[in-house]
Amino acid sequence: MITEDMQMAMQGMYPSIIGTCDAEGMPNTTVISQTYYVDDNHVAISHQFFNKTIRNIRAVPKACLVITHPEQGNHWKLQLEYSHAESEGDLFERMSMQLEAIASMVGMEDVFELKAAEIFKVLSVEAL
């Protein structure tokens, strides 16, 4: 489901945008520093600051994510279903190192700290 072009959009060059809703249906959007390719059917989102987003995902485990190709400017909308969080292990360590590189590029080395890798199943993909 996730193509090679889409994987390029998950390199941290452009932030992603995630949309969620709380249990009452109130929407929330936030900018994500890092969307990470896990496999053809899963992505991980860096959990750093987004407390409201996490509360929403725990209440309603669905999300909509928009990613952008860094060279071509293509956009894709991914419909996601929350799976689980990882706060240790190989995936967490790889995401943490990539997040450190992203933070270094934007001069925020002491601000970005990965709390968890939030894993989602990709339900559908739509080119925008």
pTM of the predicted model, to two decimals? Answer: 0.86
Average model confidence (pLDDT) for the chain? Answer: 88
CATH code for the part of the protein at 4-127? 2.30.110.10
Length of the chain: 128
What pLDDT, in 10s, does the model give residues 82-107? Answer: 999 999 999 898 888 877 766 565 56
Is 31 in contact with 39 (CB distance < 8 Å)? no
What pLDDT, in 10s, does the model give residues 64-83? Answer: 999 999 888 899 999 999 99
Judging by DSSP bridges, how do beta strands 62-68 and 27-32 pair with one another?
Answer: unpaired
